Amino acid sequence: MRRLRILALLAAGGFVVAGCSAPGPEEVTFFADGETVNVTPLASCDIASAQCTTKPDAAGKLRVRPGKPVQISVPSGIAESPWKVTVQYVNGQGEPQELKQDIITSLDRFAYTVTTPRPDDQILVVEVAQASVISQTGRPEDAEAVTTAIWSLQVEPSTL
Residue 131 has a pLDDT of 86
Q: Are 26 and 41 within 8 A, CB to CB?
A: yes
Q: How far apart are CA 69 and CA 123, in angstroms?
A: 8
Above 80 in pLDDT, residue 12?
no
CA distances from 50 to 19, 21, 47, 135, 151 (A): 5, 8, 5, 14, 19
Q: pLDDT digit string (tens) for 105-146?
A: 999 999 999 999 999 999 999 999 998 877 778 887 877 778
Mean pLDDT of the chain: 84
pLDDT band at 37 (very low <50, low <70, confident <90, very high): very high
Average pLDDT over residues 62-80: 96
Assigned fold of 28-157: Immunoglobulin-like (2.60.40)
17 DSSP assignment:
B
Average pLDDT over residues 142-156: 90
* The CA-based dihedral angle spanning residues 25, 59, 73, 46, taken in that order and rounded to the nearest 10 degrees: 30
Q: How far apart are CA 40 and CA 150, in angstroms?
A: 9
Residue 98 CB neighbours (<10 A): 8
33 DSSP assignment:
T
Q: Are 105 and 118 within 8 A, CB to CB?
A: no
Residue 25 has a pLDDT of 58
- pLDDT higher at 71 or 52: 71
Residue 135 has a pLDDT of 75
Which residues, listed in sequence order, are joined to residue 101 by a DSSP beta bridge?
Answer: 86
Q: 64: burial class by Cβ within 10 Å (0-12, 13-18, 19+)?
A: buried
Q: What is the number of alpha carbons within 13 Å of residue 68 lying toward its C-beta? A: 19
pTM: 0.80
Q: What residue ranges do the domains of the chain occupy?
A: 28-157
pLDDT band at 50 (very low <50, low <70, confident <90, very high): confident
Above 80 in pLDDT, residue 160?
no
Which residues, listed in sequence order, are joined to residue 53 by a DSSP beta bridge?
Answer: 44
